[in-house]
Amino acid sequence: MSFCLDILGINTLYNINKMASEESEDPLKIKMTEYLKENFVDANKLGVSTVEGFYTYPNPAYKDDDFLT
């Protein structure tokens, strides 16, 4: 799932969560949005487009044969 977010763009996920948290004021959504901003958006780790997100590209760990072992 996280590799899908890297492809889509973590900034897209952040923007969706930011709008949702502003509308609902749900503390969990707010905390998740803050986490994404601090750890990914502010660090320019937006996924494939910036070469790093949840994984590092062009050789992300999930492509390794022993990834799940």
Per-chain mean pLDDT for the chain? 93
29 in a domain, yes or no?
Answer: yes
Q: Which domain holds residue 24?
A: 2-58
Contacts for 38 with CB less than 8 Å, ≥ 6 apart? none
Find the CATH number of the domain harbouring 7.
1.10.1040.10
Give a yes or no: residue 48 inside a domain.
yes
Residue 63 belongs to a domain: no
Q: What DSSP letter does each residue of 14-49 carry, written as one string?
A: HHHHHHHHHHH--HHHHHHHHHHIIIIITTT--BGG
For the cut 80, the answer to whether the pLDDT of residue 1 exceeds it is no
pLDDT at residue 9 above 90?
yes
pLDDT of residue 25: 83
41, amino acid identity: V
Task: Give the contacts of 14 (CB within 8 A, at least 6 positions apart).
Answer: 33, 36, 37, 40, 41
| Cα–Cα dist 25/31, whole Å | 10
pLDDT per residue over 35-63, tens digit each?
999 999 999 999 999 999 999 999 999 99
The count of structural domains within the chain is 1
